[in-house]
Amino acid sequence: MILMRRFVVLALAACAAFVSPYFVGAQDTKPAHAAVNPAARKDKWWVNLHDGFVERAKKGDVDVLFLGDSITQGWGGAKEVWEKSFGPLKPANFGIGGDQTQHVLWRITEGKELEGIQPKAIVLMIGTNNMGGNKSEEIADGVTAIVKELNKQRPKAKVLLLGVFPRSAKPSDSVRDKIKQVNERIAKLDDGKQVYYLDIGAKFLDKDGNLTKEIMPDYLHLSKQGYQIWADAILPKLQELLGK
pLDDT band at 31 (very low <50, low <70, confident <90, very high): low
Residue 100's CB is within 10 A of a number of other CB atoms, namely 23
- For the segment 79-103, what is each residue's pLDDT rounded down to a tens digit? 999 999 999 999 999 999 999 999 9
Question: Domain range spanning residue 87?
Answer: 37-242
CB-based burial of residue 30 (10 Å sphere; 0-12 exposed, 13-18 middle, 19+ buried)? exposed
Distance in angstroms (rounded) separating the CA atoms of residues 233 and 165: 13
Residue 207 belongs to a domain: yes
Among 2-11, 25-34, 223-232, name the one with the lowest average pLDDT.
2-11
Residue 12 belongs to a domain: no
- For the segment 221-243, what is each residue's pLDDT rounded down to a tens digit? 999 999 999 999 999 999 999 99
- The residue-averaged pLDDT of 154-181 equals 97
**What's the domain count of the chain?**
1
- For the segment 119-134, what is each residue's pLDDT rounded down to a tens digit? 999 999 999 999 999 9
Residue 31 belongs to a domain: no
Query: Could you tell me where the beta strands, DSSP code E, fall in the chain?
Result: 64-68, 91-95, 121-125, 158-162, 195-198
Among 1-5, 104-108, 224-228, name the one with the lowest average pLDDT.
1-5
User: Which sequence positions are flagged as catalytic?
Assistant: 70, 218, 221
Residue 22 belongs to a domain: no
CATH number for 196: 3.40.50.1110
Query: Could you tell me where the beta strands, DSSP code E, fall in 126-189?
Result: 158-162
Helix (H, G, I), strand (E, B) or coil at 95: strand
Residue 164 belongs to a domain: yes
- The residue-averaged pLDDT of 187-209 equals 98
- The residue-averaged pLDDT of 33-51 equals 97
pLDDT band at 15 (very low <50, low <70, confident <90, very high): very low
Residue 5 belongs to a domain: no
The separation between the first and the last C-alpha atoms of the chain, rounded to the nearest angstrom, is: 73
pLDDT in the model for residue 6: 42
Look up residue 191 and give its amino acid. Answer: D
Write down the mean pLDDT value for the chain.
90
- The residue-averaged pLDDT of 8-25 equals 34
CA-based nearest residue to 210, from 179, 162, 165, 166:
166
Helices (H) and strands (E) in the chain, counts: 8, 5
Distance in angstroms (rounded) separating the CA atoms of residues 223 and 10: 58
pLDDT band at 66 (very low <50, low <70, confident <90, very high): very high
Residue 20 belongs to a domain: no
CA-based nearest residue to 163, from 132, 134, 133, 204:
204
pTM of the model: 0.87
Helix (H, G, I), strand (E, B) or coil at 124: strand
- The residue-averaged pLDDT of 37-45 equals 97
